[in-house]
Amino acid sequence: MATVIDGKNLSEEIRAEIRKEVEELGGAHPCLAAVLVGDDPASAVYVRNKRRACEATGLESIQINLPAETTQTELLQQVAHLNQDPKVNGILVQLPLPRSIDPARIASAILPEKDVDGLHPLNAGRLLANEPGLYPCTPVACIEIMDRHGFQIEGKRAVVIGRSEIVGKPIALLLLHRNATVTICHSRTQQLPEIVREADIVIAAIGQPRFVKGDWIKPGAAVIDVGINRIDKKLVGDVDFDVAVERAGLITPVPGGVGPLTITMLLRNTLRAFKQQSESRKP
């Protein structure tokens, strides 16, 4: 029977560390600006949760609501304004954006030192080169879960299912930099069950409910389920949890696994961005 990760608890533990670090700043409050375009209810909930998490850890947050008809040029102007605002340390543009706006264009307009989602090409390049930078939150959360539970990554065989820019690819790079042997799988991968059966670490970032079957899991493996899928108003992950939990050594549930940690990594990135900006302003 696997150790089931309590993402909320772990998240609280890390948030307490962040809160303490903020208190040590002597009255300064790192500030996250969240931009919400349109009226997608799920996005509004995500932004609200992120702002609440900021408040709870002593970070400041501001929210900019723009109408669904906002053009790419208008959004770029808003980003430029936040880039110039010395009070704002981190900028987050909530995805998805309306179809007429190219998310990659917006990500590259955010100053790399304020890019707390880690989506700017410069930060992506830093991650590729294993140099310090702001890295995407969900991938960092996956590594944090294994580290905080003493699961050794080095030398292990890791299988990442999913190759998106936001989740799959950055997780694969982080695992590689930690000396895992990494296989990246996707929708054209053949014999996926056989590949997963060899994995000591399975990261599922697909977006298909219970796609990874329990009997694919190697006994003792770490199973990190990034997927969030809605079935009959219930949230389920990409892994068939009920069977996988019997075989894995460590497993994250959905909800309550990676999700809460992702927001916490955003807070940590905002704090880091603040510290780096303060450092670079010193004469």
Q: Catalytic residues, which ones?
A: 50, 94, 117
What is the torsional sign of CA 112, 118, 120, 122? positive
Using the CB atoms, write b or e for 114-149: b if 16+ within 10 Å: bbbbbbbeebbebbeeeeebbbbbbbbbbbbbbeee
Q: Do the Cβ atoms of 249 and 172 come closer than 8 Å?
A: no
Check binding of 187 to ligand NDP (CB under 6 A): yes
Check binding of 197 to ligand NDP (CB under 6 A): no
Percent helix, strand and coil across the chain, each to the nearest 5:
45, 15, 40
Q: What is the distance between the alpha carbons of residues 148 and 137, in angstroms, rounded to a whole number?
A: 16
Structure tokens belonging to residue 103: 């998310």
Check binding of 243 to ligand NDP (CB under 6 A): no
Check binding of 186 to ligand NDP (CB under 6 A): yes
What are the angstrom distances between the C-alpha of 15 and each of 82, 122, 261? 25, 27, 9
Check binding of 188 to ligand NDP (CB under 6 A): yes
Check binding of 196 to ligand NDP (CB under 6 A): no
Of all residues in the shown chain, the one whose CB is closest to ligand NDP is: 164
In the bound state with ligand NDP, the residue whose beta carbon lies nearer, of 31 and 171, is 171
Q: What is the distance between the alpha carbons of residues 231 and 268, in angstroms, rounded to a whole number?
A: 32
In the bound state with ligand NDP, the residue whose beta carbon lies nearer, of 88 and 237, is 237
Check binding of 259 to ligand NDP (CB under 6 A): yes
Identify residues 104-143 at the interface with ligand NDP (CB under 6 A).
Answer: 138
Identify residues 201-240 at the interface with ligand NDP (CB under 6 A).
Answer: 205-208, 226-229
Q: Do the Cβ atoms of 133 and 118 come closer than 8 Å?
A: yes
CB of 206 to ligand NDP, least distance (A): 4
In the bound state with ligand NDP, the residue whose beta carbon lies nearer, of 13 and 69, is 13
The beta strand positions in 20-105, using DSSP E, are: 31-37, 60-66, 90-93
Check binding of 166 to ligand NDP (CB under 6 A): yes
In the bound state with ligand NDP, the residue whose beta carbon lies nearer, of 205 and 271, is 205
Residues within the interface to ligand NDP (CB under 6 A): 138, 161-164, 166-168, 185-189, 205-208, 226-229, 258-259, 262
